[in-house]
Copies of this chain bind each other. A is one copy, B any other.
Amino acid sequence: MKFIIQRDYLLRSVQDVMKAVSSRTTIPILTGIKIVANENGVTLTGSDSDISIESFIPLEHEDLEVVELVKSGSVVLQARVFSEIVKKLPKESVEIDVQNHFLTIIRSGKAEFNLNGLDAEEYPLLPQIEENDAFQVPSDLVKQLIRHTVFAVSTSETRPLLTGVNLKIENNELTCIATDSHRLALRKARIDLNTTDVSYNIVIPGKSLNELNKILDDSNDLVDIVITENQVLFKTKHILFFSRLLEGSYPDTSRLIPEESNTEMKVSAKEFLQAIDRASLLAREDRNNVVKLTILEGGVIEISSNSPEIGKVIEEVQSQSISGEDLKISFSSKYMLDALKVLGETDININFTGAMRPFVIRPLHDDSMLQLILPVRTY
């Protein structure tokens, strides 16, 4: 294999596939990046066997020669060293030349690296996925679906399914749900399927979605999504992103979400977030993170927290409206901050059904997103 390539294109591709490479793999060759060059272009692959990423660099891009192919072939190079080298090469163009025994020479300007490569034949094959059943979702919407839910997955391995995000498709509606059994995040979106017969119900590891979010652009370019029995593939123009799925049936979360409400308040998400953030300063010190919400006269919401050693804090937030029963309720400030952060600068409705029942936060006039938090017993 021998080719000359524009460094910027190579660097971008290396950085994308590096997101799948782990130094803690049990399969030694997976610490490497597979490079394949042929008459179509150059393909890089990284994998930790849960996530696999393939990035393709065409010979030409926008009438510019990106790759000059001298000889087809393939090699696997140690990922961390290779990516560091590409980052620091002195010139715009790089020659990669594989010789006997996969010894690989990387030349750029007056710099010459000789790396011991490995046989690409020994690199595990990526899952073979038929792309006939693909459906399309804009890249920025995929990122939103991830950001609005993935923070709520469980970090504990005691219930492995809860470390993933439940993705459901039914009647042209896509729903993502994550819960760690103390809080739940839900985001829905309409998508265009060619038929309403298609339905899916899968669980994608939260870690995979976090990496996918880093790779995708905030554009409205369409991402092809293909779901198989144990894999999901996200495909953009130059990248294939494979993730294995978590096995098992995700719990039915719909019965968790209360349908009635005894107290309803309308408030600015931003003002509410800042008050909770300050109140949590003392809650954090106590390591329980609990703040207390009390409804006062005149639509005022009091947020307070008490740490016997350090002191206490009282915040008042003026609501836009409060209706229903009076309420005192305690909850984790961390869960509330996580939820408010993804809600952004909008106005929100919070619906309570009692001090010991889960409560629901929704953006005003928008039922595509829902955040649910279980309170903490303090009385």
Contacts and interface: CB of A to CB of B under 8 A. Distances in A.
Given A81-B282, A88-B278, A110-B275, 9 more contacts: A78-B310, A81-B281, A81-B311, A90-B274, A104-B311, A110-B316, A110-B317, A110-B318, A112-B314
Interface of A: 78, 81, 84-85, 88-90, 103-104, 110-116, 274-275, 277-278, 281-282, 285, 309-318
Nearest to A108: B278
Nearest to A279: B111
A112 B310 contact: no
Contact of A311 (B89, B115, B277, B312): B115
A116 B85 contact: no
B88 A311 contact: no
A318 to B, nearest CB: 8
Nearest to A313: B113
Q: Please give the count of copies of this chain that the complex contains.
A: 2
Contacts of A112: 313-315
Contact of A85 (B111, B278, B318): B278
A114 B311 contact: yes
A315 B84 contact: no
A110 B315 contact: yes
B310 A81 contact: yes
A313 B278 contact: no
Contacts of A315: 110-112
Contact of A114 (B81, B85, B275, B313): B313
5 contacts: A81-B281, A88-B278, A110-B275, A111-B275, A116-B310
Contacts of A313: 111-114
Nearest to A282: B81
Contacts of A312: 113-114
A115 B318 CA distance: 24
A282 B113 contact: yes
Contacts of A275: 110-111
Nearest to A311: B115
A27 to B, nearest CB: 18
Contacts of A90: 274, 278
A40 to B, nearest CB: 28
